[in-house]
Amino acid sequence: MLPLQTARKRTPAFDGKRLHLLDAAARVFCAVGYDKASMRRVSAEARVSLAGIYHYVASKEELLYWIQLHTFDSLLRGLENSLDGLVDPRQRLAAAIRNHVRHFGENMHKLKVCARELETLEGEAYDDVRERRRSYFEAVHGLVKELRPRHGVPLGSWLATANLFGMLNWFYQWYDPDRIRVSLDDLAAQQTALFLDGYTASASGDGRRETE
């Protein structure tokens, strides 16, 4: 149960150092998973003593909490920016997917942690993150609903959105920059085409790898 408060409030250099800590924690959580990750390893990664961490953060749980909160906020802000000025529903969805995929490319650690540890937090902290997550989901769900405005009720739009997130979030299980020969924007374009028109119709570039 998180008190949802930092150990102290508002002191100089506080945010900078804390962000540095969150970043180090994200790298460790990403590498070995939240449960296996030890505060000792986070302290080594951040080059801060073990006890030093607790000056900026009240608990290990809080590290995960802030990582998830910042990441979902950033995803949502990015989404709103990338939709600016676009009116065609297909282009709007394409922009949303591009935003999501780009975030993965730029913040692999944090997004992988978010995708993998969705059910790790508990209590208030969980509810708090869940609401951010819901906002983001609903924003994308709205874009999906725009796609078929005059075809009666948008049947299965919720299900389709859930599956779209499946495509996008499973990403971290197979994406390896060294082995995949597609740019992230090409990848986003292919995923958009797949979602909109299906595999049999979508024309696409190539995304094969050497093995598997």
Query: Which are the contacts of 8, defined by CB distance < 8 A and separation ≥ 6?
Result: 14, 55
Q: Is 17 in the site for DNA (CB under 7 A)?
A: yes
Cα-based torsion angle of the residue sequence 26, 29, 34, 36 in order, rounded to the nearest 10 degrees = -150
Q: Is 201 in the site for a copy of itself (CB under 8 A)?
A: yes
* Paired tokens of 106: 């730029």
Partner in contact with 170, chosen from a copy of itself, DNA, none, beta carbon below 5 to 8 Å by kind = a copy of itself
> What binding mask, one character per residue, do residues 114-133 give for a copy of itself by CB under 8 A, x or -?
--x-xxx-------------
* Paired tokens of 77: 């802000």
> What binding mask, one character per residue, do residues 18-57 give for a copy of itself by CB under 8 A, x or -?
---------------x-xx---------------------
DSSP string, 92-128: HHHHHHHHHHHHHHH-HHHHHHHHHTTTT--HHHHHH
Strand, coil or helix: 20: helix
Nearer to DNA, 8 or 179 (CB): 8
Q: How far is the CB of 66 from a copy of itself (least distance, A)?
A: 21
Helix (H) / strand (E) element for 171: namely helix 157-174
Q: How far is the CB of 53 from DNA (least distance, A)?
A: 7
Q: Is 160 in the site for a copy of itself (CB under 8 A)?
A: yes
Span near DNA by CB under 7 A; candidates 44-52, 76-84, 119-127, 169-177: 44-52
Burial (CB count within 10 angstroms: exposed 0-12, middle 13-18, buried 19+), residue 74: middle
Partner in contact with 48, chosen from a copy of itself, DNA, none, beta carbon below 5 to 8 Å by kind = DNA
CA-nearest of 139, 125, 106 to 68 is 125
**Do 143 and 92 contact (CB within 8 A), yes or no?**
yes
Binding residue (CB under 8 A) for a copy of itself from 81, 91, 163, 183: 163
**Do 122 and 1 contact (CB within 8 A), yes or no?**
yes
Binding site for a copy of itself (CB under 8 A): 33, 35-36, 116, 118-120, 134, 137-138, 144, 147-148, 153, 155-160, 162-163, 165-171, 173-174, 182, 187, 190-191, 193-209, 212
- The residues that touch DNA, with contacts defined as CB under 7 A, are 8, 11-14, 17, 37-40, 48-52, 54-56, 58-61
